[in-house]
Amino acid sequence: MLETIKSEIKKRDIDKIIIKNPRYDSESKIIENLHLNYPNLLIICEPSANLIDQEYFIDKYGFPKSFTKFRKIVEKNNYVLNPINTRRSLNIFPKIKYCESKVEQIYDIEKFSLKSFIVYMKKFLSSYKETRDQLYGNNISSQLSVPLSLGLVSPRRILHFINVFEKKVISNQSTYWLKLELLWREYFKLLSFYHGSSIFSRKGISDISANSKVDSIINIKFEDDLIQSINNQLIKTGFISNRARQIFASHLIYNLNIDWLSGAYYFKNNLIDYDTENNFSNWMYIAGVGTDPRGGRLFNLNKQKLLYDSNSEYRKKWLKN
Ligand SMILES: Cc1cc2nc3c(=O)[nH]c(=O)nc-3n(C[C@H](O)[C@H](O)[C@H](O)COP(=O)(O)OP(=O)(O)OC[C@H]3O[C@@H](n4cnc5c(N)ncnc54)[C@H](O)[C@@H]3O)c2cc1C
């Protein structure tokens, strides 16, 4: 990573970079190294794409131990910030032709991601709550995770769009539920802002030393047909539903006794919507070393098959692949 940044700085003769605030030791080390090697390089650290002002929140409340507490504080005080005007805020660059066109390109990328979300919103959002927990199917959820994880779209703007949709078209449990999921994302971002690199440790943010008999997922042959199918879909497409992620993680941790960290790194290497905080915090949650008040989640495989793939449609499709 460091070498790539250095080569870009050299190749493009860069004198200023803007990055999201570092959270982890590895990121701070990269910045230190850049300062040392390029004393004239201006490095500006900005808060990353968040719904709330994290520093203010932590100063005032500390880190809430449960999502419910967090949600209530944010909703009661209306802490979600307004979206930033992309065009205006990108004008920090000098007005030369090259930069003007870059600003337009970034603006267009967000517009493109928003367009596909608007299509989803108009057709499917009003039934999101009924579909989002399913194992498979077209349009069961918003698929915002890809543009969000790549930083192509602002979560604040998405929330703003949903609010307008609620005012002008329909406001129901489903429209609220998508906002709730965006708040889960925000909660996990706050968790890592507060706990830093501990999200990469076996104990997570708990005092429990999770005991696993198998260190690594590599070379494990999955015998269960549902787990094999989920794995095939993940490897072939890079995307699986939230339900599939939960079932897979729970099976690895509780039935196969595999170290949860190894599972988290496996997702990191295979998901197209990989997001550090969402991924590691969800794995910690299921492993019982994160913020789950119930101390971890074990999903019964047979019950999941009966509830979410009773006619084996999903397994038939993905076992073939
Ligand atoms: C073990 C495990 C690993 C995961 N790894 C990732 C990951 O690397 N990247 C990622 O973006 N999400 C991850 N998730 C969360 C969730 O599964 C995905 O965000 C979601 O399935 C993506 O599809 P969507 O955008 O259609 O979701 P929707 O249901 O439409 O939700 C909209 C947005 O809300 C946020 N969101 C939804 N569910 C969660 C959740 N449980 N935790 C945090 N934020 C959420 C996401 O930003 C998502 O894009 C993981 C979940 C589990 C159980």
Tell which one of 181, 251, 268 to mutate to probe ligand 1, the residue whose CB is within 8 A of the most ligand atoms: 181
Q: What is the CATH number of the domain that holds 183?
A: 1.25.40.80
Question: How remote is the CA of residue 167 from the centroid of ligand 1, in Å?
Answer: 26
Say whether both 64 and 157 belong to one domain: yes
Within-domain flag for 264: yes
**Do 175 and 255 belong to one domain?**
no
**Is 190:273 a contact under the CB 8 Å cutoff?**
no
In a domain, 36, yes or no: yes
Is 10 in the same domain as 52? no
The answer, yes or no, to whether residue 92 has pLDDT greater than 50, is no
CA of 59 to the centre of ligand 1 (A): 27
Asked if residue 8 is part of any domain, the answer here is yes
Using the mean position of ligand 1's atoms as its centre, give its distance from the Cα of residue 95 in Å. Answer: 38
Do 234 and 119 sit in the same domain of this protein? Answer: no
Distance CA 234, CA 273 (A): 11
Residue 199 is classified by DSSP as G
Domain ends where: 150, 176, 194? 194
Give yes or no: residues 243 and 275 share one domain.
yes
Q: Do 152 and 273 have their domain in common?
A: no
Taking the centre of ligand 1 as the mean of its atom positions, its distance from the CA of residue 101, in whole angstroms, is: 33
Q: What is the mean pLDDT of residues 81-105?
A: 61
Let me know whether 94 and 118 are in one domain: yes
- What pLDDT shows up at residue 99? 56
Same domain membership, residue 245 and residue 314? yes
- Give the contacts of 226 (CB within 8 A, at least 6 positions apart): 247, 301, 304, 305, 309, 314, 315
123, part of any domain? yes
Q: Which domain holds residue 22?
A: 1-46
**Number of separate domains in the chain:** 3
Phi and psi, residue 311, nearest 5°: -100, 15
pLDDT tens-digit readout, 155-183: 999 999 999 999 999 999 999 999 999 99
- Whether 237 has a pLDDT exceeding 90, the answer reads yes
Give, using CA atoms, the residue closest to atom 17 of ligand 1: 242
Q: Is the pLDDT of residue 93 over 70?
A: no
Residues 281 and 176 in one domain: no
Decide if 49 contacts 81 (C-beta within 8 A).
Answer: no
Q: What is the pLDDT of residue 89?
A: 56
Q: Is the pLDDT of residue 301 over 90?
A: yes
- Asked if 218 and 265 touch (Cβ cutoff 8 Å), the reply is no
pLDDT digits (tens, 9 = 90+) for 4-61: 889 988 888 888 887 877 788 888 899 999 999 999 999 888 766 799 999 999 999 9
- Domain end: 9, 26, 46, which one? 46
The answer to the question of residue 69 being in a domain is yes
Instruction: Please tell me whether residues 63 and 168 are part of one structural domain.
Output: yes
Residue 206 maps to a domain: no
Residue in 144, 183, 239, 278 to alter for ligand 1 test, most ligand atoms within 8 A of Cβ: 278
Q: 188 φ, ψ to 5°? A: -70, -30
Q: Cβ distance 268 to 284 under 8 Å?
A: no
Query: Within this chain, do residues 34 and 91 fall inside the same structural domain, yes or no?
Result: no
Q: Identify whether 65 is part of a domain.
A: yes
Distance of alpha carbon 164 from alpha carbon 156, whole angstroms: 12
The residue contributing the CA closest to ligand 1 atom 38 is 181
Residue with structure tokens 């609620």? 166
Tokens representing 62? 């500390």
DSSP string across 220-266: PPP-SHHHHHHHHHHHHHS---HHHHHHHHHIIIIIS-B-HHHHHHH
Can you read off the two tokens belonging to residue 257? 């006794």
Alpha helices (runs of H) in the chain, residue ranges in sequence order: 2-12, 25-37, 54-61, 67-77, 86-89, 97-124, 128-131, 145-149, 155-168, 173-195, 225-237, 242-250, 260-270, 276-287, 301-308, 313-320
Considering the domain architecture, whether residues 142 and 115 belong to the same structural domain is answered as yes
Residue 218 counted as domain residue: no
Distance separating alpha carbons of residues 239 and 226, to the nearest angstrom: 16
> Which of 50, 136, 242 to mutate for ligand 1's pocket (most ligand atoms within 8 Å of CB)?
242
* Residue ranges lining ligand 1, Cβ < 6 Å: 132, 141-145, 148-149, 178, 181-182, 184-185, 188, 241-242, 245-246, 249, 267, 271, 273-275, 278-279, 282-283
Which residue minimizes the CA distance to atom 50 of ligand 1?
279
pLDDT at 210: 66
